[in-house]
Amino acid sequence: MSDVNELHRRWCIADGHADSLMWNRDLCVRSTEGHVDFPRLLEAGVKLQCFTIVTRGFPFIGGFPAFAAWRGWPREARSGEWNRAVWQIDRLADFCRRSEGRVRITTSAALLEEHLAHGQLSAILGVEGGHAIEGRVDRLAELHRRGVRFMGLTHLSNNDLGGSSFPMMGNRGLTPLGQEVVREMARVGLSVDVAHASERTLEELFAYPSVRFFCSHTGVRGAGGGWRNLSDESLRRIADRGGVVGIILAPIYLGGDTLEDVTRHISHALDVMGEEGVGIGSDYDGMVALPKGFRDVTDLPRLTEVLLRRFPEPLVERILGGNFRRYFRETLGG
């Protein structure tokens, strides 16, 4: 078997989902807290990391402002969902400026390839839940101007755009505002992340031919696990439109806590979607556990070793980043 660390140096290792910005850590500094920072990502050989912006917490609790206060967010950043989003975007931009050229916010296909050629980590920004725009469709263009390139319509609860996959949410569909938002996202160049969409919202999204969508982090229902996992039909429809599904590392959605459980979900997704539709969407720093023996992103080579025992090397390269590289080359624009 090839040396895994050497493969990680050569390959475009990519991950579809990290919630690290909400924890208000200095991502330029190596930490023993959480799963991700720039030094650990670079050590693991990651070349493309999606950083997602969280502005609302669990349903029925409403504790996100308290969480932000606990993590030391400034008062103005806690005053509303739009302000929370802008503050996190600005924080990532500042981290990248201070990274001495090692990490760059990546907003186009050309920049992605340029950063890969120079050994730089590409940070791609997404928003987890369209409630962040606070009902103002014009803010989608502002998000794009600020470097955001994808957004999920919902997160852990229903909102004014559509239905969430969270339990007891009623399987609601897109609202009229949600339909307007979807059309505007397609116009300005934002992909739709379907990770937390209800079944009905998903079905209605698939009816928009001009919308590009993918799933940043999920398990797959056909391999068992948790309530929000995608059905085979959804997997097929995402693949048919050129999308990628990032397989989550969280045991609660895998139905097991080993790297073999991750591989089981990957294998099922490959059977349904084909070799170009499957990636990794860890959910690092997302208030979920990782598999046994997997502390943070620097343990990613352990997953690579498990995958190489089951799949040929070119396919493992696609799973670990080649497919997300292809997807973002196609969707980031010039």
C-alpha span between 23 and 151 (Å, rounded)? 19
pLDDT mean for each 10 residues of the chain (334 residues)? 88 98 97 97 98 85 84 93 97 98 97 97 98 98 98 95 93 97 98 97 95 97 90 97 98 96 98 98 95 97 97 98 98 88
Residue given tokens 């499957």 in the structure block? 278
From the CB of residue 145, how many other CB atoms can be counted at a distance below 10 Å? Answer: 10
Question: Is 319 within 8 Å of 279 (Cβ atoms)?
Answer: yes
What are the structural domains, with CATH classification, of the chain? 4-331 (3.20.20.140)
* CA-based nearest residue to 90, from 155, 15, 143, 154: 143
Residue 313 backbone class (left: φ over 0; alpha: ψ -120 to 50; beta: rest): alpha
Threshold 0.85, pTM exceeds: yes
